[in-house]
Structure 1
Amino acid sequence: MKVFFDTEFTGLHQNTTLISIGCVAEDGRTFYAELTDYDKCQVDDWIKKNVISNLVIHHERDYYYKVTDIEEIYKSNSYGIGSRLSVWLQQFDKVEMWSDCLSYDWVLFCQLFGHAFNIPNNVYYIPFDICTVFKLKGIDPDVSREDFAGAKDWNVEHKHNALHDAKVIKACYERLMNM
């Protein structure tokens, strides 16, 4: 099962901390989580305007909501989210993780489980990214993901919401594979 994921975090630097993660499986099942223990001192005005404003849960308490049989939303600390994500991933026999530009996404994903050697056994240890696929298909990897995916009619003000962005990544992958 391919799982497309995106993370939002406190900045493009070595000690960044995870704010949220969104995952969407090939079959449409979704996982979305917001973390309560990200480093708020690292949040600048851009992060406040573009990421924090697109969070779904506006309180700091632990939270779980099963929207539908295929959509789950959580809020907790890193340990709680890592545990919930591990359970969610166990519903699949084998998992490939796909992201956009996965340099930060993969490291933050692995940190939810303590480190890379602790990721769930059914998750393939090598991640994949659509930036490389864009390049291999002769498309500028800096292309607007929403435009390429045909997601212009989607709620664009939710860009930089991890679940929204994971859905866009999935749509881009599907279009790329049909080229």
Structure 2
Amino acid sequence: MTMRIFYDTEFLEDGKTIELISIGMVAEDGREYYAVNRDMPVRRIRKHKWLMENVVLGLPKGHGDLRNSMSKRWLFHYGDHRVKSRMVIAAQVAEFIQATPDPQLWAWYGAYDHVALAQLWGRMIDLPDGVPMWTNDLKQECERLGNPTLPEQPDGVHNALADAQHNLVRAQYLDELTKAGR
């Protein structure tokens, strides 16, 4: 039986490269995964106004006294359990997907998300066994169904896990429209 995994990535792209910042995944069986790439290019991200204003704000931060002791150069709290090396993220994402029976990947405008995902392991042909070579696109499905107005995301926009959770909400809404014959 096929099971969908909804995911989102946040990334830095400059027209030549796509650098993973964070990834969030939600499987239909309720499992979730979220990680922040400790190896992200912090200096380049600091120079990217949109990322600083939209993505960095949602990354793990220290709390209380810890926040006051964090270096001002840090974009996020390096000691947070969700902050991991790219190699650890790659292994955990592979495990998450491989633990899913007949997985389908789904994302909103998913082309760059799939590239960011695939690059966890290098080239597309280096994908681990069981990791799909493509991502289904919720935006395309929305268009196919006549571009209905979808539920709005209440909060967490540009947080990879919150966006992945909302992708599940979008898909469930589109499923209901399909069942209703629209």
Q: Name the TM-score, length of structure 1 as normaliser.
A: 0.81
The one-letter code matched in structure 2 to 1:159 is V
**Aligned partners of 1:94 and 1:123 also within 8 Å:** no
Correspondence for 1:102? 110
Correspondence for 2:72? none
The 2-side partners of 1:7 and 1:22 are apart by 6
Correspondence for 1:47? 51
Matched, 1:24 2:26: yes
Runs of 4+ in 1 over 3 A off after TM superposition: none
Identity %: 28
Counterpart selection for 2:158 from 146, 151, 160: 160
The one-letter code matched in structure 2 to 1:123 is V
* Structure 2 unaligned regions, length at least 5: 62-75, 178-182
For residues 22-171 of structure 1, what are the structure 2 equivalents within 5 Å? 22-43=24-45, 44-56=48-60, 58-61=76-79, 64=81, 74-139=82-147, 148-149=150-151, 151=153, 154=154, 156=155, 158-171=156-169
Structure showing greater Rg = 2
Shift of 1:12: 5.5
The 1-side partners of 2:151 and 2:128 are apart by 30
The one-letter code matched in structure 2 to 1:149 is P
**Aligned partners of 2:60 and 2:77 also within 8 Å:** no
Correspondence for 2:176? 178
* Structure 1 unaligned regions, length at least 5: 65-73
CA RMSD of aligned residues (A): 1.8
**Aligned partners of 1:36 and 1:77 also within 8 Å:** yes
SS of match in other structure, 1:17: strand
The 1-side partners of 2:53 and 2:115 are apart by 24
Q: Name the TM-score, length of structure 2 as normaliser.
A: 0.79
Q: How many residues align?
A: 159
